Amino acid sequence: MMRKTIQGGDSLKSNTLAKYPTKVARKRSKSILVNDPEATSEIQANVRTIPGILTQRGCCYAGCKGVVLGPTRDIINLTHGPIGCGYYSWLTRRNQTRPGPEGDNYMTYCFSTDMQDENIVFGGEKKLRQAIQEAYDIFHPKAIAIFSTCPVGLIGDDVHAVAREMKEKLGINVFGFSCEGYKGVSQSAGHHIANNQIFKHVVGRGDQEPQGKFRINMLGEYNIGGDAFVIEDLLDRCGITLVSTFSGNSTIDQFENSHMADLNCIMCHRSINYVADMMETKFGIPWIKVNFIGAEASAKSLRKIAQYFGDDQLTARVEQVIEVEMGPVKKVIEEVKPRLEGKKVMLFVGGSRAHHYQYLFSEVGMVTVAAGYEFAHRDDYEGRKVLPFIKVDADSRNIEELEVKPDPERYRARKTPEELASLEANGFTLKDYDGMIPEMEPGSLVIDDISQYETEKLIEKYKPAVFCAGIKEKYIIQKMGIPMKQLHSYDYGGPFAGFRGAINFFREIDRMVNTRIWRLVKAPWSGEESDSKIVARYVSDAA
């Protein structure tokens, strides 16, 4: 790909920082990078947000309960805390599921202990015990998971002791998470805590040997807007057995048997790399980074999986599937590219999508002029090569690092050292992720934990054709006359994964970028009135 230098980053950075108090400017300057692919650039990430700054971030509880465990349908997810925490994390992430013949699906329920002032004063353990019993009596689930909210940590309820007691009493799996909202600096801490507990209490408890010759787990795919359904279908048509997905459209049985897969494929590196590393150490399953966002990226990922297994029949089948899928994708690209090529995009999302979605945009010729994560770590920006150099600060030290050893009976090396060497000699990389920065254009801006103020300055300067972020940013950006695509929930759209998803995405972006409607809207604070007659005429024309 030809690389074009994007102009103006340096002056934008200095002008934006100039408005901050000196200390804030000094701190923020380390998290704003003008990309220079020739230099080794270091970005500050995974540090506390400066008080007073409007951040996009969420809390630790959200990362644990909502993100990692949320998409699993047959574990009762019980929030121990005031009702708001459970209520506002209920079904808002658009992770979907298909309950299948056994039918257990608790996703549509909101379970909470509904803590009151009285429980804060006298303790909430009794109420938690009652809530677990009540949930068990009504639903008889296979497992109950307890999620701690801020007050639980502050008053010192021992959710783990209650979990042990109720596990014994009920004879089902009950486990707790110390994922109080304030732990760590963002939802990233919640991912780590979730990974630890799911590894300790669930992974490896099953003994159902999965069928099939090519058995994989998909890690860090959460079935937002139906993405996992597309990937499941693709793998199935290639003859690849999906033992477990962490955790889109998953069940607890799948997690329990996941240690019998022969390869772990990581989609979202940020949220789940811990499980991959621990499974490798304990059970001998190697992991690779894949990405099913983008048609080319999907093809590349399927080929990578086939290369790992090194089976001619599998390779042929994968090629066949890619060929069939690519036809319609190319047609749509041909149609929309002339209308989208060269247009500017900005993405400020989470801990992996701000990178992955750049592939989709580049397939239709759009240019990412600025991107950043909310809560990723330096390795998600600069690649895993920087892992040994990341400073572990007090906030990260707060989160437990499990000590994992090879399982004396169940560890099984999936490849011989010779097989591994030959894979590597053919350019195959195991256990690696290069991060977002090396793939971005020179001069583009990389900004970690972007503030609302910085967002506005970016938009004023570059006037992008589309801005990607989340619900908190959406309406301010639209009021500035810029189409805004939510990449967390996908608004009401999706799936966007795989080839079929790419087509959906291209069509949606084409519609958003090429409608004139946003240019006719004037922000309420601009002092100008929107021309309601024009807007009305436009809407009726379009209808």
Cite the active site residues: 59, 62, 93, 191
Stretch that binds ligand CFM, among 219-227, 430-438, 441-449, 508-516 (CB under 6 A): 219-227
Residues 423/415, Cβ–Cβ less than 8 Å: yes
Residue 253, SS3? Answer: helix
Nearer to ligand CFM by Cβ, of 144 and 349: the residue is 349
Write down the least CB distance from residue 224 to ligand CFM, Å.
5
Stretch that binds ligand CFM, among 9-17, 101-109, 201-209, 347-355 (CB under 6 A): 347-355
Residue 446 makes CB contacts below 8 A (sequence gap 6+) with: 32, 33, 35, 41, 43, 370, 371, 372, 381, 436, 437, 440
Is 497 a binder of ligand CFM (CB under 6 A)? Answer: no
Q: Which of 60, 67, 69, 285 binds ligand CFM (CB under 6 A)?
A: 67
DSSP output for 440-492: SPTT-EEESS--HHHHHHHHHHH--SEEEE-HHHHHHHHHTT--EEESSS-TT
Nearer to ligand CFM by Cβ, of 336 and 436: the residue is 436
Distance CA 476, CA 471 (A): 10
Write down the least CB distance from residue 377 to ligand CFM, Å.
11
Closest CA to 191 of 399, 379, 487: 399
Residues 120/158, Cβ–Cβ less than 8 Å: no
Write down the least CB distance from residue 491 to ligand CFM, Å.
12
Six token digits for residue 275:
């499980």
Nearer to ligand CFM by Cβ, of 421 and 471: the residue is 471
Q: Which of 151, 488, 505, 506 binds ligand CFM (CB under 6 A)?
A: 488
Is 63 a binder of ligand CFM (CB under 6 A)? Answer: yes
Nearer to ligand CFM by Cβ, of 66 and 176: the residue is 66
Write down the least CB distance from residue 150 to ligand CFM, Å.
18
Distances (CA, A) of 144 to 124, 160, 356: 17, 12, 33
Write down the least CB distance from residue 291 to ligand CFM, Å.
11
Q: Distance from first CA to last CA of the chain, Å, rounded? A: 39
Write phi, then psi, for 100 (nearest 5 degrees): 70, -175
Write down the least CB distance from residue 353 to ligand CFM, Å.
4
> Mask of contacts with ligand CFM, 257-276, x by CB under 6 A?
-----------x-xx-----
Nearer to ligand CFM by Cβ, of 176 and 351: the residue is 351
Nearer to ligand CFM by Cβ, of 113 and 195: the residue is 195
Distance CA 481, CA 487 (A): 19
Is 353 a binder of ligand CFM (CB under 6 A)? Answer: yes
Task: Give the helix/strand (H/E) hosting 289.
Answer: strand 287-289
Is 93 a binder of ligand CFM (CB under 6 A)? Answer: yes
> Mask of contacts with ligand CFM, 130-159, x by CB under 6 A?
------------------------------
Residue with tokens 């805004």: 484
Residue nearest to ligand CFM (CB): 350
Neighbours of 160 (CB within 10 A): 16
Write down the least CB distance from residue 494 to ligand CFM, Å.
11
Six token digits for residue 443:
């001069």
Q: Which of 187, 195, 197, 258 binds ligand CFM (CB under 6 A)?
A: 187
Is 289 a binder of ligand CFM (CB under 6 A)? Answer: no
Nearer to ligand CFM by Cβ, of 28 and 353: the residue is 353
Nearer to ligand CFM by Cβ, of 59 and 423: the residue is 59
Stretch that binds ligand CFM, among 133-141, 325-333, 343-351, 432-440 (CB under 6 A): 343-351
Write down the least CB distance from residue 68 to ligand CFM, Å.
7
Q: Which of 350, 483, 494, 501 binds ligand CFM (CB under 6 A)?
A: 350
Distance CA 359, CA 499 (A): 12
Nearer to ligand CFM by Cβ, of 75 and 266: the residue is 266
> Mask of contacts with ligand CFM, 438-477, x by CB under 6 A?
----------------------------------------
Write down the least CB distance from residue 496 to ligand CFM, Å.
11
The beta-strand segments (E) located in 27-165 are 32-34, 75-80, 111-112, 143-148
Distance CA 344, CA 149 (A): 40
Is 224 a binder of ligand CFM (CB under 6 A)? Answer: yes
Distance CA 432, CA 151 (A): 38
Nearer to ligand CFM by Cβ, of 136 and 246: the residue is 246
Distance CA 355, CA 352 (A): 6
Write down the least CB distance from residue 504 to ligand CFM, Å.
16
Distance CA 302, CA 86 (A): 38
Is 355 a binder of ligand CFM (CB under 6 A)? Answer: no
Q: Which of 273, 291, 352, 396 binds ligand CFM (CB under 6 A)?
A: 352
Burial letters 358-374, b for 16+ CB under 10 A, else e: bbbbbbbebbbbbbbbb
Residues 187/67, Cβ–Cβ less than 8 Å: yes
Residue 174, SS3? Answer: strand
Size of the residue set binding ligand CFM (CB under 6 A): 16
Distance CA 293, CA 187 (A): 22
Binding site for ligand CFM (CB under 6 A): 63, 67, 93, 187, 220, 222, 224, 268, 270-271, 349-353, 488
